[in-house]
Amino acid sequence: MKHLNLLLIFLTLILFSCSEQINQKSEPLPSWNEGKNKQSIINFVNEVTDEKSPNFVKPGDRIATFDNDGCLWSEQPYYFQLQFALDRVKVLAPEHPEWNDNPLFKAVLENDIKTVLSFGEHGLLQLVMTTHAGMTTEEFAQIVKEWINTAKHPKTNKLYKEMVFQPMLELLDYLRANGFKTFIVSGGGIDFMRPWTEEVYGIPSDQVVGSSGKVKFEIREGQPVLVKLPEINFIDDKEGKPVGIHQFIGKRPIAAFGNSDGDLQMLQYTAAGEGKRLMLYVHHRDAEREWAYDRESHIGRLNKGLDEANKKGWIVVDMKNDWKVIYPFEMK
Amino acid sequence: MKHLNLLLIFLTLILFSCSEQINQKSEPLPSWNEGKNKQSIINFVNEVTDEKSPNFVKPGDRIATFDNDGCLWSEQPYYFQLQFALDRVKVLAPEHPEWNDNPLFKAVLENDIKTVLSFGEHGLLQLVMTTHAGMTTEEFAQIVKEWINTAKHPKTNKLYKEMVFQPMLELLDYLRANGFKTFIVSGGGIDFMRPWTEEVYGIPSDQVVGSSGKVKFEIREGQPVLVKLPEINFIDDKEGKPVGIHQFIGKRPIAAFGNSDGDLQMLQYTAAGEGKRLMLYVHHRDAEREWAYDRESHIGRLNKGLDEANKKGWIVVDMKNDWKVIYPFEMK
């Protein structure tokens, strides 16, 4: 009898560890305030995972795609990847005395961001090309890892990777616990995101879709390596997002999450599939805890997308009212 | 006591269902003959999954990449995708009377394969472009599904999807049971493979890397769709394979499987990483049960790769001696 009891305890322990996943379902999205938006998400998940529902979707087809900048982490006062590029220019400057005669690079070195931004998209592209090419893919990944683990945001004085949205982390977990495969589909650089998305979001590198430069296979000192070239391969933004989804994932998502007009085509493409769909925009309306911007912003503009979301009844998350906290560090 | 026993039985059942994965390890690769090659595979898997081994690799980094044509399924007398293209030309011919004046298309319609092949790579590309573009991605997937579920190989009179290698299916299962993520990295068309790789190999669409044409986002009759264009996007062969691995997977594989010189760079790239690595060539040496070809073959030539495999001590599987069966249908 004593042995039986011990065995029973042992088996019960195993049962509990087995049912851990099931238990996770019980209290989803704790950092989301109760209300229409939270309930819509939960209703959607319940419906597509209920085998008796006409809208049931088998696990392999439960594809959810997330924009990164402004959707999973902040993007103000400008994209964090731009800050990375600016920091790299400063690190590399001693090897490039000629940059002092280049008005764009000179402005970077003088911390004159206004002038940097005045060069527009072409200027930013030039900065990215210069700082994201000329090394092997593995060397670049190492540089990104060092930056993401040390560089701090000027406003919060927190690491950039700490400025991710707690409610979105919970949403990623909740979807995965319900058999979804979660992907990033971002205009940001794929090689800039992959070194840290697994640690920060639980999203492995092969589930990250993004913009990319060309790479070239080479044998260097007898070792095969991939060298990053200063040449665009793919821009994963606007019409590029559904294209990227097709090329990388090969299935139409049933749920898509964004925050700007750059995500509109991804949400349209998701909405147009058969059965129940979830389209969600994160609306930045919290000037105190994060930032407030939409139709007029140069970074993360949400204008056409907001109109379409309202017209089509997509979920528009109000960061101020829907989210109890913004960042994980607020909870400590 | 009775209730306790019932509970005990219940808990034991759950314990067994939990340990199912562990049990799967007990008898790996049943269709592989005992010998050096089978043992090398098992040794490798044991070593990278043993936490106490200096060569332990954490599950997320256990990336295994497989070529498709000639590695997971047969490829003779010519790539099965070419047969698909030829079949499509015949289906589409009534709408294209002009093809009767085109020597390439005329040869296809007259089943004159020798002439078709005499047009070389350029001719084949023209056939693929013509038959793989002009429709939406979803329409094309439907066409592929219908073909793969009906078209039969002239030699075996079996469906093409039945001409997959039983020992390789077991290898895929074995690796996955040991925490590997399995990918296809093939010169074949990504849109041609994805509609059936999940059913046939257990590999979901987002783990299929291949050659691709460009696609364009369009709103057709109010519906967002992706239209396939007759324009090359990416050729996933030779130097393209490590490039494709980087762009799609973002990690260097620790195990790679191929059968031709087109896979050499993938195997080199895999071999060059740190720690224990597994590089394996399937050598077609079974003229009776499959086909025998290597250094001189126009399809799936294995020449440089065979030299390098021998020099570097990579595994070279002899289909005749290493495999008990070739196809799953031989077992019925």
**pLDDT tens, N- to C-terminus, chain B (332 residues):** 455 565 556 555 555 554 444 444 568 999 999 999 999 999 999 999 999 999 999 999 999 999 999 999 999 999 999 999 999 999 999 999 999 999 999 999 999 999 998 998 889 889 999 999 999 999 999 999 999 999 999 999 999 999 999 999 999 999 999 999 999 999 999 999 999 999 999 999 999 999 999 999 999 998 999 999 999 999 999 999 999 999 999 999 999 999 999 999 999 999 999 999 999 999 999 999 999 999 999 999 999 999 999 999 999 999 999 999 999 999 97
For chain B, say whether A331 makes contact (Cβ under 8 Å). Answer: no
Residues 132-161 of A with CB under 8 A from B: 137-138
Please report the pLDDT score of residue B189 as a whole number: 96
Order of strands, edge to edge, in the sheet holding B223-234?
B223-234, B208-220, B181-189, B63-66, B255-258, B278-283, B315-318
Chain B nearest-CA distance from A75, in A, is 24
Q: Could you give the dihedral angle defined by the CA atoms of residues B233, B237, B238 and B239, in that order, rounded to the nearest 10 degrees?
A: 30
| Most B-contacting residue of A211, A218, A246, A312 (CB-CB within 10 A), to test interface | A246
What is the SS3 assignment for B159? Answer: strand
For chain A, say whether B215 makes contact (Cβ under 8 Å). Answer: yes
Task: Point out the residue among A198, A219, A246 whose CB comes nearest to the CB of B137.
Answer: A246
Report the amino acid identity of residue B234. Answer: F
Please report the pLDDT score of residue A121 as a whole number: 83
For chain B, say whether A126 makes contact (Cβ under 8 Å). Answer: no
Query: What DSSP letter does each residue of A13-35 carry, written as one string?
Result: HHHHHHTHHHHHTTS--TTBPSS
Please report the pLDDT score of residue B120 as a whole number: 86
Element (H, E) at A213: strand A208-220
Cα–Cα distance between B55 and B277 in angstroms, integer?
9
Phi, psi of B174 (to 5 degrees): -60, -45
Question: Does the beta-carbon distance from A248 to B206 stay under 8 Å?
Answer: yes
CATH architecture of B27-77+161-331: 3-Layer(aba) Sandwich (3.40)
Question: Does the beta-carbon distance from A205 to B251 stay under 8 Å?
Answer: yes
Cα–Cα distance between A155 and A75 in angstroms, integer?
12
* CA-closest candidate to residue A271, choices A321, A226, A313, A316: A313
Record the pTM.
0.91
Query: With 80 as the cut, is the pLDDT of residue A17 above it?
Result: no
For A307-331, the pLDDT digits (tens) are: 999 999 999 999 999 999 999 999 9
Query: With 50 as the cut, is the pLDDT of residue A96 above it?
Result: yes
Please report the pLDDT score of residue B324 as a whole number: 98
**Fold (CATH) for A28-76+153-331:** Rossmann fold (3.40.50)
For A194-204, the pLDDT digits (tens) are: 999 999 999 99
Burial, A36: exposed, middle or buried (Cβ in 10 Å; 0-12, 13-18, 19+)? Answer: exposed
Please report the pLDDT score of residue A210 as a whole number: 97
Give the mean model confidence (pLDDT) for residues A173-184. 98
Q: Which residues contact B183 (CB under 8 A, 6 or more apart)?
A: A206, B63, B64, B65, B66, B203, B207, B208, B209, B245, B248, B249, B253
Give the mean model confidence (pLDDT) for residues A30-56. 98
Give me the residue spans of the domains in chain A. Answer: 28-76+153-331, 80-134
Burial, B157: exposed, middle or buried (Cβ in 10 Å; 0-12, 13-18, 19+)? Answer: exposed
Report the amino acid identity of residue B3. Answer: H
Please report the pLDDT score of residue A41 as a whole number: 98
Q: Which residues pair with B285 in a beta bridge?
A: B292
Query: With 70 as the cut, is the pLDDT of residue A19 above it?
Result: no
Evaluated on CA atoms A205, A210, A211, A216, the torsion sign reads: positive
For chain A, say whether B251 makes contact (Cβ under 8 Å). Answer: yes
For chain B, say whether A81 makes contact (Cβ under 8 Å). Answer: no
Task: Point out the residue among B15, B207, B250 whose CB comes nearest to the CB of A14.
Answer: B15
Task: Point out the residue among A181, A212, A242 whose CB comes nearest to the CB of B217.
Answer: A242
Give the mean model confidence (pLDDT) for residues A289-310. 97
Phi, psi of A138 (to 5 degrees): -75, -35
Please report the pLDDT score of residue A27 as a whole number: 86
| Most A-contacting residue of B236, B247, B249, B269 (CB-CB within 10 A), to test interface | B247
For chain B, say whether A113 makes contact (Cβ under 8 Å). Answer: no
Residue whose tokens read 């093939």: B186
| Most B-contacting residue of A9, A247, A308 (CB-CB within 10 A), to test interface | A247
Question: Does the beta-carbon distance from A206 to B248 stay under 8 Å?
Answer: yes
Residue B65 corresponds to which tokens in the numbers above? Answer: 């990449």
Cα–Cα distance between B129 and B92 in angstroms, integer?
13
